[in-house]
Amino acid sequence: MATATGFFFITATPLSSSSSSRPLPVSSHTPLLRIHCSSSSSSSISTSEATPIPEKPPTSTNFSVTGGAYDFTKATTSLTNELIASSKKVILLRHGLSTWNAESRIQGSSDLSLLTEVGEKQAEKCKKALENIYFDRCFASPISRAKQTAEIVWEGREKPLFYLDSLKEISLYHLEGMKNVDAKQVYPKEYTTWREDPANFYMNGRYPVRDLWQAARVCWKEMLLSPGKSFLVVTHKSILRALTCTALGLGPERFRSLDINNGGMCVFIFNIKGEAMLEGLNMTAHMYSDHVYPG
């Protein structure tokens, strides 16, 4: 393997069978190693001594989205169970700070919590951060704090804004509106289960987190089968957790394995099989600077 930059290779001279019983004397007449040096491509090496040159790695692939992972069955999870028209990019965005966020109240599916002044400014930052990205459509929760955020972020765009009930926040029934410290005292068993074992959290004859997982699957399918290649989704933290986990094939027991800040974004790419690749989780650079994401 001669090159213009030069190299060394070493070959060992075999020892005779008799040498195994005693050390071989070393002298100028008994070389143990031969070292060949090449400094230019004009050097010649016998075929038996040359090391095969590996093929040059490909500079591009024709794999869909993430490469070879999609060539294996059961490597990823299809959210549609059918082919979609094209690959898609989906950005999930949590609403800005709300009044009940600021008061440390349990929000759930209640529609009584609105964006604070800080929350509105956060939504404006999100709008600025996404200004270079083209979206075919925006999907949003119809609950006020998410709806307000979506309207601010989407202002000035000509494409439609759709409200989906499947993007509503988790229902927490009589815990909604209570401050966390009060709910812990008044309903200690339910509150502790909600915090520490959410998959088995049981209230009003239902398992709210398990219901949320089902809603997330319905929502993904509805969005991914919609026309377009680039979508913005504005909603709430708990349903965002469910959307992220279901896309990655994780069950409701992983509900608290990730967090998403107010104004935080998650980015997914989907191939035509409806399989997801997570590109960004809880992206918040735009919340602390004038960062604008590239289109």
The reply, when asked if residue 180 is annotated as ligand binding, is no
3-state secondary structure of 194: helix
The reply, when asked if residue 157 is annotated as ligand binding, is no
**Is 29 designated active site?**
no
Residues in CB range of 137: below 8 A, 6 or more apart? 159, 160, 161, 162, 226, 228, 231, 232
The reply, when asked if residue 66 is annotated as ligand binding, is no
The reply, when asked if residue 166 is annotated as ligand binding, is no
The reply, when asked if residue 213 is annotated as ligand binding, is no
The reply, when asked if residue 87 is annotated as ligand binding, is no
- The closest alpha carbon to 234, from 245, 247, 221, 223, belongs to 223
How far apart CA 150 and CA 233 sit, in angstroms, is 8
The reply, when asked if residue 94 is annotated as ligand binding, is yes
The reply, when asked if residue 97 is annotated as ligand binding, is yes
Which one from 169, 176, 190, 275 is the annotated catalytic residue? Answer: 169
The CA distances from residue 191 to 83, 175, 184, 240, 288, in Å, are 41, 8, 6, 21, 33
The reply, when asked if residue 95 is annotated as ligand binding, is yes
Which one from 82, 95, 131, 253 is the annotated catalytic residue? Answer: 95
**Is 95 designated active site?**
yes
* The pairing of beta strand 7-12 with beta strand 137-140: unpaired
| Binding site listing for substrate | 94-101, 145
Positions marked active-site: 95, 169
| Binding site listing | 94-101, 145
